Amino acid sequence: MRILTDIPEDDIEKLDALAAKAKRSRAAAIRDAVKLYLAQNDTSNDWIMRGAGYWKDRGDIGDGVDYQRAMREDRRPYEDI
Report DSSP letters for 18-58, one per residue. HHHHTT--HHHHHHHHHHHHHHHT--TT-HHHHHTTTTTT-
Which tens digit of pLDDT belongs to each residue from 31-69? 999 999 988 887 776 777 778 888 888 888 888 888 888
The one-letter code for the residue type at 13 is: E
Give this prediction's pTM: 0.52
- Report the share of the chain in percent with pLDDT over 70: 95
Q: Where are the chain's structural domains?
A: 7-48
